[in-house]
Amino acid sequence: ILNVEQSPQSLHVQEGDSTNFTCSFPSSNFYALHWYRWETAKSPEALFVMTLNGDEKKKGRISATLNTKEGYSYLYIKGSQPEDSATYLCAFEGNKLVFGAGTILRVKS
Amino acid sequence: DTGVSQNPRHKITKRGQNVTFRCDPISEHNRLYWYRQTLGQGPEFLTYFQNEAQLEKSRLLSDRFSAERPKGSFSTLEIQRTEQGDSAMYLCASSTPRDSYEQYFGPGTRLTVT
């Protein structure tokens, strides 16, 4: 059974704080690692798809890194804003997507 | 709006009733996926279609669940004789080879079985 773990489970930060989350996944049969942001009552939105060991991707204040050999990815948010409040999901892609349980981020203004 | 749409957004039903959900994928996306998400968990794969062919089904998909994609466009997910354990968010996603099969999600249908 594939196990994708995310930590922490939830996080409450102040506006302006920088934060990071972890996703750990199996290091075998790896094809891609996906990060999604899921706001309440909306569709999960793709943030990044990462395929190569050492990949680093950035979109505005959000960035992610990938280590396929040790099986982890970090998502960083610099200068958190209230609109960053959402659940952040990672998904391991082998022959299908296997999701972690997500990290719930709440940013207080 | 050209995204993935799902209907209804919310469904409340009594135990034992049948329910059907619909997913309209992004036009020309040939792959369509169904997932189920329960409280505190990430989405779990249920099944996927390539065009009208159902290529894979999870063991989570009991005999009471059936999915169809008759013309390779929209899909329906039916749950017969609903149980309280079926209460969950049902998500649909679609993808295309042009985007390296990156999956685009709909907003989901939240099912509550009372």
**What's the average model confidence in pLDDT over B89-105?**
88
pLDDT digits 0-9 by tens, B34-48: 999 999 999 999 999
CA distance B89 to A68: 30
Of the candidate ranges A35-39, A85-89, B58-62, B82-86, the one whose mean pLDDT is the lowest = B58-62
Closest-CA residue in chain B for A95? B56
Q: Do B107 and A43 touch (CB under 8 A)?
A: yes
pLDDT digits 0-9 by tens, A48-106: 999 999 999 999 999 999 999 999 999 999 999 999 999 999 999 987 899 999 999 99
Q: DSSP class of residue B85?
A: G
Q: A52 phi and psi, to 5 degrees?
A: -105, 140
> Is pLDDT at B1 greater than 70 in this prediction?
no
Closest-CA residue in chain A for B9? A41
**What's the average model confidence in pLDDT over A34-57?**
94
Which residues of chain A are within 8 Å of residue B56 when distances are taken between CB atoms? 96
pLDDT digits 0-9 by tens, B19-76: 999 999 999 899 999 999 999 999 999 999 999 999 999 988 889 999 999 988 999 9
Q: Do B105 and A44 touch (CB under 8 A)?
A: yes
CA distance A89 to A87: 6
Min distance B52 CA to chain A CA atoms (Å): 18
Integer CA distances (angstroms), A4 to A80, B70, B74, in order: 25, 33, 30
Min distance B68 CA to chain A CA atoms (Å): 19
Closest-CA residue in chain A for B42? A101
Contact A17, A64 (CB under 8 A): no
pLDDT digits 0-9 by tens, A1-30: 679 999 999 999 999 999 999 999 998 888
Contact A108, A15 (CB under 8 A): yes
Q: Do B43 and A89 touch (CB under 8 A)?
A: yes
